[in-house]
Amino acid sequence: MTRRITIIAVVAGTLGLLTFLGAAAISHLSGGGSPKPQCSNGFDDDSDGKVDYPADSGCTSKNDKSEYNAVRSIPPPPPPPPPPPGTMSWNPNVKRTPQVTTIPFIIGNKVGSCGGATEAGGGFPNHLKGTEGAVPGQPIPSEITSSIAFVQINGVRLEGTNRKLWGAGSDGDATTNASDPNRPDIGNIFMKGIHLELSRHWGTIQRSDGSIEGPFLDPYPGQTVWPAPGRLVDVQGFVRWDALHTTTNGHYCTGWEIHPVSAWRRHR
């Protein structure tokens, strides 16, 4: 007799709970019938603290079946300031005035499935595309049209990842990763980092005494090129998207690069 009473009490409690939540809750919890689309069912389906259209940014309409954002994003960085007076190329073979910018502006605020920046969100649509090709050191300065973004990034921090000495490997390029130390608000280094690639026939190097050696027009296999990780440098070069690296952690899961780097110097 006691067992029968307990069952009745549980059933009554369940019915009372469902009556309190309403018909929409019954449909949502049971999964039966024809449940409403997530963007109009009264629930926070993606647990982001926002419910249904138009409050949830993942909803395009009340009939949207998913509250999840198709493309995640972070707050966009401010636009880069105009180049200070006297800004010029440090490489005499590159007769261009660089646009002074930042890593977050170059890569943009759209996050892909691997966690890195997408090409569509980048700040410079006029960028190089693809790898350098089979010929080491290509392209040379005269082969890059004036429409391609030539930039200067000040005070980037060199990282210990994706490092390669000049002359190592088949292409002879010297590589490293760098990040923006001035954006602690961006917790994901993938969204404030970029790959730097100094092609074999490019670049200048500033020595510790301030003197400049370069530009290098021949390979120097023994030259390490980049300072130690943690150092701050200023970099000039061309913005590139290389789609081969969008799923590679060593490239921050993105195709964005400064490649070729035309010159670098110790941060001033």
Q: What is the pLDDT of residues 80-125, one digit of tens each?
A: 666 677 688 887 778 889 999 999 999 999 999 999 999 999 999 9
pLDDT given at position 8? 39
pLDDT given at position 152? 95
How far apart CA 195 and CA 216 sit, in angstroms, is 20
User: Could you give the C-alpha distances from 78 to 106, 122, 178, in angstroms and in order?
Assistant: 11, 13, 20
Contacts of 1 (CB under 8 A, 6+ apart): none
pLDDT given at position 16? 46
Quote the mean pLDDT of the chain. 77
H or E segment to which residue 262 belongs: strand 256-266
The segment with the largest mean pLDDT, out of 8-22, 173-187, 189-203, is 173-187
- pLDDT range class, residue 140, cuts 50, 70, 90: low
Amino acid identity at 100 = V
How far apart CA 39 and CA 161 sit, in angstroms, is 42
pLDDT given at position 252? 96
> Does position 146 have pLDDT exceeding 70, yes or no?
yes
Percent share of the chain, pLDDT over 90: 37
- 79 or 71, greater pLDDT: 79
> Does position 155 have pLDDT exceeding 90, yes or no?
yes
- pLDDT range class, residue 43, cuts 50, 70, 90: confident
How far apart CA 30 and CA 254 sit, in angstroms, is 41
pLDDT given at position 134? 45
> Does position 31 have pLDDT exceeding 80, yes or no?
no
How far apart CA 180 and CA 153 sit, in angstroms, is 9
DSSP bridge pairs for 195: 177, 257
> Does position 138 have pLDDT exceeding 70, yes or no?
no
> Does position 15 have pLDDT exceeding 80, yes or no?
no
Q: Provide mean pLDDT across the span 200-210.
A: 63
> Does position 34 have pLDDT exceeding 60, yes or no?
yes
pLDDT given at position 63? 85
- pLDDT range class, residue 185, cuts 50, 70, 90: very high
pTM of the model as a whole? 0.65
Beta carbons of 110 and 73 less than 8 angstroms apart: yes
- 13 or 255, greater pLDDT: 255
